[in-house]
């Protein structure tokens, strides 16, 4: 899935995350993470983000996340929403998890 424009999903409220995704000139996923719990859970957050993008077929993107303690399910939902918006998708490939 190609990122065509920059898009946002989420809020800066407690237990949520603001996810910004946009196109990148460089190959791969460039991930910038700000989190209240980065020291304890930074690696796990990064894994959830990269797995979610991989499941959507995103191979090139710039991603910035400002996490306020979001659970994995919230983080997945925010990343999916932002990626689909950035790709200009109108039909959503939802599947049970």
Q: Is 65 helix (H, G, I), strand (E, B) or coil?
A: strand
Contacts 24+ apart (CB under 8 A), 91-95: 93/56
pLDDT tens profile 49-75: 999 999 999 999 999 999 999 999 999
The pLDDT, as a whole number, for residue 46 is: 97
Can you give the pLDDT at residue 37? 92
The structure's pTM equals 0.90
- For residue 94, name the pLDDT band (cuts at 50, 70, 90): low
């Amino acid at each position: 899935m190609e990122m065509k424009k920059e898009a946002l999903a989420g809020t800066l409220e407690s237990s949520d995350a603001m996810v910004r995704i946009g196109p990148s000139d460089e190959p791969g996923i460039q991930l910038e993470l700000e989190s209240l719990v980065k020291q304890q859970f930074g690696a796990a957050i990064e894994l959830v983000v990269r797995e979610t993008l991989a499941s959507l077929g995103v191979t090139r993107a710039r991603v910035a996340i400002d996490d306020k303690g979001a659970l994995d399910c919230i983080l997945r939902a925010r990343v999916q929403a932002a990626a689909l918006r950035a790709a200009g998708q109108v039909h959503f490939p939802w599947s049970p998890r």
